A and B are shown apart, each in its own frame.
Chain A
Amino acid sequence: MNVAALGVFADALRFVVDERSLILDKTAEHLELSGAAMAVALLAALPLGVFLGHLHRGSFLAVNVANIGRALPSLAVIAAGISVLGIGFANVVLALVILAVPPILTNAYVAVDGVEADVVEAARGMGMTRLQILRRVELPLALPLLFAGIRTATVFVVATATIAAVAGGGGLGDIIVNQSVYGLDGVVGAAVCVSVLALGADALLGLLQRSLTPDAVRAEAGVLEPDVVTGVTRL
């Protein structure tokens, strides 16, 4: 890396400090977009994935949703969403939801479906009802993989919300795609902010995952599991 490049990063940090009200505004917009998309995606995909996994039905759906989810170019999804539905908060959110659903759905399915049959059998033998088995046996054991999917989707959505700006969606991407207005300092500064936001959201979810994981499960080695869609283990 050369000296000029380092200078750019120093200038970018100065931009973030000097223009903090702009950065804060755009960050708030960014979080609003990503938060809304994640909320809708979670509400839609998590119960469905858990339910299908519990019934051990629909592996075909889960596998294909994962494959298609990987293949969907986020730029094309957002561009298509906006040109077909029109510009608007809801439309950008909808495009982001489409991108967030595959990792959440597939991982939830694989997580619950993969809970050992013997364990479920034992729980049934103890006289647990289906709901109790789901809540007290399957979900705790499925937690690592379940969270792997949610974390992948979150990083993906926070990162991709940037692209929404290309289509006038707002957020930190507004700065990134408007180099003529904000200069290279602004572009690099905003890009750093997006990265920090994505890493921060991932870290927060990691903490949440840790606090939700029962001690007994945590004691076993495989608390960190790679996400099924990308194969990535989040630290």
Chain B
Amino acid sequence: MTSAGPVIPNFGEGSDCVTENRLFCTDWARDNWGGVLQPALVQHVELTAIAVGVGALIALGVALLTHRYPLLERPFGAFSAIVYTIPSLALFQLLVPVTGLTVTTVEVALVGYTLLILYRNALEGLRAAPPDVLEAARGMGLTPRQTLLRIQLPLALPAVIAGLRVAVVSTIALATVAALVIPQGLGYPIFLALREYFKTEIIAAGGLAVALALAADGLLVVVQRALVPWARTRRTA
């Protein structure tokens, strides 16, 4: 900060709207869609997909394990609850000494946040099978593995998908903070724009993140309706 005169923001070449930093300049958004916004959006989708995918695998595995060995439930529940309480910005920073300024750092943190939501829902889902149904399955001569694959997992689907919806939407929101560690995702243009309080870029990238979250949520609702037709009829009753 050595300049003597008033600080004149430099928003680059552009229309009056951009140089005056008005609330939202559609021309800037149009001109920078291919160069800034679209790549960030694609990266954001990738960050989220990896985090939720890995989180879902771990959560389902642990849920199956705790369903079998209930003693494990409390330790894992407490662990995931504590991870969930660590502030995102802090967790990203806490991981930097361990995994560096890498995508791994971001993914580990994001996976950590999805675990709690996905795990609780998966466990709740596994417990959704009524004892009578399990009894009937045994009576029909199903092996435990068959019972799991044909009875318990399908009955767990509504809870699992409900967990996925929450996890996907909150991961999309959280992934913006990842830009503190790596120059990726929709958070990155926001961080850059914050240097000069360039409103258009902040609103465009933030709006895209919200739109992405709502779209992903809507998509999962459609998937849920296709996979779990019985839940729909029950809910309307």
Contacts and interface: CB of A to CB of B under 8 A. Distances in A.
Interface in B39-98: 77-78, 81-82, 84-91, 93-94, 96-98
A195 interface: yes
A84 B210 contact: no
Nearest to A163: B89
Contacts of B170: 70, 230
B90 A67 contact: no
Interface stretch (B30-38, B116-124, B147-155): B116-124
Given A194-B90, A235-B78, A76 B176 contact: yes
A232 B174 contact: no
Interface string A190-227: 11101100110010000000000000000000000010
Interface string A158-181: 111011001100000100110000
B191 to A, nearest CB: 7
Interface of B: 23, 77-78, 81-82, 84-91, 93-94, 96-98, 116-117, 120-121, 162-163, 166, 169-170, 172-174, 176-177, 179-180, 186-187, 190-191, 193-194, 197-199, 202-203, 205-207, 209-210, 213-214, 217
Contacts of A117: none
Contacts of B98: 1-2, 5
B166 to A, nearest CB: 5
Given A5-B98, A80-B203, A70 B85 contact: no
B172 A82 contact: no
Nearest to A166: B194
Given A76-B190, A79-B193, A230 B117 contact: yes
9 contacts: A75-B191, A79-B206, A83-B194, A83-B202, A159-B90, A191-B91, A194-B87, A231-B120, A232-B117
Interface string A121-163: 0000000000000000000000000000000000100111011
Interface in A36-88: 67-68, 70-77, 79-80, 82-84
A158 B88 CA distance: 11
Contact of A166 (B77, B91, B121, B191): B191
A5 B186 CA distance: 29
Given A75-B187, A159-B89, 4 more contacts: A68-B214, A71-B213, A191-B87, A230-B84
Mostly, the A contact residues are: helix
A155 B117 CA distance: 16
Nearest to A76: B206
B74 to A, nearest CB: 10
Nearest to B162: A231
A104 interface: no
Contact of B97 (A8, A176, A195): A8
9 A-B pairs with least C-beta separation = A76-B206, A159-B87, A191-B90, A71-B213, A8-B97, A83-B197, A73-B176, A73-B173, A162-B89
A158 B87 contact: yes
Contacts of B190: 75-76, 79
A187 interface: yes
Nearest to B179: A75
Given A70-B166, A70-B213, A188-B94, A79 B87 contact: no
Contacts of A68: 210, 214
B174 to A, nearest CB: 7
Given A5-B97, A230-B166, A234-B81, A162 B214 contact: no
A31 interface: no
Contact of A72 (B89, B173, B203): B173
Interface centre among A1, A73, A202 (most CB of B within 10 A): A73
A70 B176 CA distance: 13
B209 to A, nearest CB: 5
B194 A195 contact: no
A71 B84 contact: no
Contacts of B88: 159
Interface centre among A67, A80, A192 (most CB of B within 10 A): A80
Contacts of B85: 155, 159, 195, 198-199, 202
Contacts of B82: 199
Contact of A71 (B97, B173, B193): B173
Contacts of B206: 73, 75-77, 79-80
